[in-house]
Amino acid sequence: MKQNELDRKLLEELIKDGRISYVELAEKVGLSRVAVKDRIQNLKDKGVIENFTVAINSEKFGKKVSAFFEVDVEPKQLQEVAQNLADNPSVASIYQMTGPSTLHMHVLVEDFTMLENFINNELYSVEGITRVESHVILKRFKSRAGYKL
């Protein structure tokens, strides 16, 4: 295998199971445990692997309502609003999008009452927000568990 193919195979295996041992990885890609450890450390050093984490099923953890929001913000207040929202424990992720100072936000809450409270008390009360569009997830077909190689 070429170097890039080996790295790709290592990453594919880590995406499937981030807890796989270096010995098991070595067996799957045909390298020594030490060589696998070095390659993974190199991928971390280059920033290809940002971190190792756990994917949690939010529904099993009591967060049964998942919603996405498109939030338009006054351009001068974009950073402040984004940080304010990012600090909220119900906000799972938040991104600045192209367009008129738009934030894309994923929110996880326990129920629809909590979603209503979030919208009315946490979102509409933030100065600088000019428009909010929400989309509640009805069913999850696929979720990102790492970059698909």
pLDDT in the model for residue 56 = 76
What are the 10-residue block averages of pLDDT along the chain, 149 residues in total?
80 90 94 95 92 82 93 96 96 91 96 96 94 92 63
| pTM over cut 0.85 | no
Q: Tell me which residue of 87, 20, 10, 1 sits closest to 46, measured CA to CA.
A: 10
Q: Tokens for 42, please give them.
A: 């190199």
Could you tell me how many residues make up the chain?
A: 149
Beta-bridge mates of residue 106: 68, 93
Helix (H) or strand (E) holding 14: helix 3-16
| Alpha-carbon 74 to chain mean position | 25
- Where are the domains positioned within the chain? 3-45, 58-136
- The residues, ordered by sequence, that sit 6+ positions from 143 with a Cβ below 8 Å of its Cβ are 55
Identical fold, 3-45 and 58-136: no
CATH 1.20.1250.20 applies to domain 3-45: no
pLDDT in the model for residue 51 = 87
What CATH code is assigned to 58-136?
3.30.70.920
pLDDT in the model for residue 119 = 96
Contact predicate 81/126, CB 8 Å: yes
Instruction: Kindly state the DSSP code that residue 145 receives in the 8-state scheme.
Output: S
